[in-house]
Amino acid sequence: MSTAYAHFLNHTGRPIHKSTHYFLAYERHFSPFINRPLTFLEIGAGNGGSSEYWKAYFGPLARIVTLDINPACKEFEDEQVFVRIGDQSDPGFLQSVIDEFGAFDIVLDDGSHMMPHVKASFDYLYPRMSKNGVYMVEDMHTAYWEEYGGGLKSQASFVERFKDFIDDINVRFIRDNNGSVQGLDGAYCLSIYESILVIERSSFINGKMTLLGDSQRRVNLNAS
């Protein structure tokens, strides 16, 4: 099986628009799903090339679901590719898609990249996706741009929100938690790339601390 980037370079169908270094993140987080049963959601159909790409990348067991606000995108429907028209920030629309396809194993947000939309999609889809899934948001350079509702250190920015997720995944260790840190359901790994944010979930995390080895060979750690 070739890599995500090789697949991209071999793409000859409808136009697809991706930054080259994104393929490192795709390969790292998505390759375990290749040739596995998969319900994949991409927000943002663009010109239809990405759904063709994902279908070829993931293989015959994948259902590729794409959401877009533009009704013209309906024509991208194909074997294994399902296009639904609506607004990524509309919970009613998102629920109708979940009702139809079930919980998504991967969500890739490549939609409007507007902060309120990114947040609304995340807030609705993340808790309802597969407990062992991956949520990825790309083009998050827009989180630094005012015209997308962002800005450096702005509370409206999804990057700022993502920084809080670091506290969320460590919630059980926070001694002075006044209730403001709630935890992020099932999240066990956060990854940050230029312009890309990733949250990986697991339905089970073994967080037990274990000391192994010959106890006679311990040194006094408080000696100095």
In the complex with ligand SAM, the residue whose CB is nearer, 111 or 186, is 111
Using CB positions, name the residue nearest to ligand SAM.
46
In the complex with ligand SAM, the residue whose CB is nearer, 19 or 132, is 19
In the complex with ligand SAM, the residue whose CB is nearer, 111 or 150, is 111
* CB of residue 138 to ligand SAM, shortest distance in Å: 9
Q: CA 150 to CA 157: how far, in whole Å?
A: 5
Instruction: Name the phi and psi angles at 106, rounded to 5.
Output: -130, 135
* 25 binding ligand SAM? (CB under 6 A): no
* Amino acid at site 34: I
Q: Are 25 and 136 in contact (CB under 8 A)?
A: yes
Q: Which of 17, 113, 117, 141 is catalytic?
A: 113
**Candidates 14-22, 56-64, 154-162, 193-201 — which segment interacts with ligand SAM by CB under 6 A?**
14-22
| Residue 113: active-site member | yes
In the complex with ligand SAM, the residue whose CB is nearer, 67 or 184, is 67
Looking at residues 34 to 63 of the shown chain, list those that interact with ligand SAM (rule: CB under 6 A).
42-47, 49-50
**Which residue, among 127, 109, 103, 118, has the nearest Cα to 185 in the 3D structure?**
127
* CB of residue 51 to ligand SAM, shortest distance in Å: 8
The three-class DSSP label of residue 117 is helix
**Which residue, among 61, 19, 16, has the nearest Cα to 40 in the 3D structure?**
61
* Beta carbons within 8 Å of 19's beta carbon, 6+ residues apart: 138, 139, 195
Q: CA 62 to CA 214: how far, in whole Å?
A: 48
* CB of residue 134 to ligand SAM, shortest distance in Å: 16
* Beta carbons within 8 Å of 42's beta carbon, 6+ residues apart: 50, 51, 54, 64, 65, 66, 67, 108, 110
Q: Which of 39, 80, 89, 130 binds ligand SAM (CB under 6 A)?
A: 89
Place of tokens 């790409």: 53
* 137 binding ligand SAM? (CB under 6 A): no
* 106 binding ligand SAM? (CB under 6 A): no
Q: What does the block give as tokens for 16?
A: 């697809």
Looking at residues 146 to 175 of the shown chain, list those that interact with ligand SAM (rule: CB under 6 A).
none
Interface with ligand SAM (CB under 6 A), residue total: 22
Footprint of ligand SAM (CB under 6 A): 16-18, 42-47, 49-50, 67-70, 87-89, 110-112, 117
